Amino acid sequence: MHDDALARESEPSIADILTAAGYPAGIRFADIVAKIAAAPADRLAIEYEDRRISYGEAAKAIGGIARLLESRGIGRGDHVGYMFRGHPHALYTLLATTLIGAVLCPINYQMSGALLTRLFERYRLSLVIADEACFEAACEAAAAAASPPAVLDGHGPEFCAAVDAGHGVAPFLARDYPASTDPALIMGTSGTTGEAKGVVLGQSWAGGGLIAARKWGCFDHPPKVYIALSWGYTAAVWQTCIAFALGGSVVIPPRFSASRLWQDFHDRKCDHIHLMGTMPRMLLNQPKKPEDGAHGRIVVTSAAMPADAWVPFEERFNAQIFECYSSVDSGGCWMTNDGSAPPGSVGRPWKEYEARIVDDDDRDVPDGEIGELIMRARDFAPVVTYFNDPEASAEKVRGGWVHFGDYFRRDAEGHYWFVERKRDLIRRRAMGIAPSEIETVIRQMPGVAECSAIAVPSELGEDEVKLVIVKDSGSAIAPADIAAYSAETLPTYMMPKYIEIVDELPRTFGSERVQRFKLREAWNSPGTWDVSAAGYLGA
């Protein structure tokens, strides 16, 4: 096995980073608030549309919301739901809730109905704070819950009065809680393989952003961070913590816009953004503009940056990419590619962690072969806590190793390569097929905007391949055209048995990953074309 720690000896240790920052025991969310309160009051903290909000104003808003929450009976350990689009009130709520020791539960603001009610019940919420776009849906879902939580309008008069009240945070910072081990967040997993689980994250999780920034050596100044992701996603939380831990600022757009992003980024003189899912390709697919790389060299942290997009993206947008591999339920384990590994690789683990590629019985597989990635810390046992699900928590870290549920391979140089979600691998003709291998080819077909390859049942006992296609606007391609293109470009064992053209692919909230399990559930829909029969299943 490779000793991954040897390859990263020059990398600063987590302990050294925290000690140098003055937090040897770890950084809590409350410490981020203390940083904001201690900064010069007139320093820029937040930009939102045409508003410029100072550190002093932000501290007062956080203190005001903390007082409002406590006046509503919310205290240490209580669960608060959180449904916001991009807005300063979302940031204030995050920091105020965790400041008083309550547990914040970010929820997809697009959810409604029975699914939202079930989430309220599962997280045992005492209060839900929702912005005007989802306030009505939150009220309806809460009313249907077995123990209805109160619902507060995050842009209503009571909330806005608390923001403007001018209260400080000093009384809250003087308390001896929350402790670094107290729960701070319950974040949902991405839901790519089924119903999302709630992962309990402690107060010290707030320090992860600063640790990552120092590990990569990508910030030697207070950064100006563009928050392009939803506030229901962990990266937005970490970006906030990075910015304020280093004395920087954040730009909060109301929503992600591929057509306007770089103009806004350039006008506001930002130098960091986090992208994931389809976002890099969406930006590359935009018409080229003078402002694409008009800024100075910027830092782009990414998750799942396509290998073929890496260099074009860096060159066009004057960017340095730091590829990250982790998850909300990783137990703190990380891999990163800071440019020292080939594009498309996730690099190597941080030196505090070790990784293995194993078979279904947790036995190591040789370099070059595909197996599941498992990781652990070198000095302590990893812990993953799914809220109210001890069995899943124990299974995640069985044998003292975090099991990621992802297929990887490691090359001869010790670089790790993501292959596919374990549940998504297609097995056909005794071959293992990564859907991405098929998708990379089919995306090159003129008229194809997006595609997803999935495993569907086969009469032979293994899998058949189904392609689900989203056409370019105005494209007239039909399933028969896609089948013909596949026959010309794919190996026989990768040929699709079924093809379906849809308006859009189902995606997770925030990370925008394709939810293949939903495609598999509806694999035999009437609009599915059987290639061998040359007809639709519903005909």
**What is the model's pTM?**
0.82
In a domain, 450, yes or no: yes
pLDDT at residue 233, as a whole number: 79
Nearest to 272 by CA among 218, 313, 315, 231: 218
pLDDT at residue 275, as a whole number: 92
Report yes or no: 141 and 109 within 8 Å, Cβ to Cβ.
no
SS3 37: helix
In a domain, 454, yes or no: yes
In a domain, 485, yes or no: yes
CATH number, domain containing residue 450: 3.30.300.30
In a domain, 207, yes or no: no
State CA 514 to chain mean position distance. Answer: 13
Prior bond to 183 cis, omega within 30? no
Nearest to 245 by CA among 27, 449, 527, 404: 27
Report yes or no: 421 and 437 within 8 Å, Cβ to Cβ.
no
Which range of residues forms the domain containing residue 459? Answer: 433-536
pLDDT (tens place) for every residue of the chain, 539 residues total: 456 655 566 788 888 888 887 788 789 999 999 999 999 999 999 999 999 999 999 999 999 999 999 999 999 999 999 999 899 999 999 999 999 999 999 998 878 888 789 899 999 999 999 999 999 999 999 999 999 999 999 999 999 999 999 889 999 999 999 999 999 999 987 644 445 689 999 999 998 878 888 877 777 789 999 999 877 778 889 899 989 988 999 999 988 899 999 999 999 999 999 998 778 988 998 999 888 888 888 999 998 888 889 999 999 999 999 999 988 899 988 899 988 899 999 999 998 999 999 998 999 999 999 899 999 999 888 899 999 999 999 999 999 999 998 989 999 999 999 987 777 878 786 567 878 878 988 999 999 999 999 989 887 667 899 999 999 988 999 999 999 999 998 878 889 999 999 999 988 655 567 888 889 888 999 999 999 988 888 76
Report yes or no: 61 and 67 within 8 Å, Cβ to Cβ.
no
Angle of helix 29-38 relative to helix 234-245, nearest 10 degrees, comes to 40
Greatest extent of the chain over all pairs of C-alpha atoms, in Å = 73
Per the listing, tokens 């800024």 go with 295
Number of domains in the chain: 1
Could you please report the per-residue DSSP string of 90-117?
HHHHHHHHHHTT-EEEE--TT--HHHHH
In a domain, 490, yes or no: yes
pLDDT at residue 348, as a whole number: 93
Nearest to 347 by CA among 331, 362, 325, 327: 325
The length of the chain, given as a count of residues? 539
d(CA 253, CA 259): 13
In a domain, 510, yes or no: yes
In a domain, 368, yes or no: no
In a domain, 78, yes or no: no
d(CA 50, CA 72): 32
Nearest to 237 by CA among 199, 272, 187, 304: 187
Report yes or no: 334 and 212 within 8 Å, Cβ to Cβ.
yes
d(CA 340, CA 487): 37
Residues 6+ apart with CB under 8 A from 242: 209, 210, 212, 213, 219, 223, 225, 248, 272
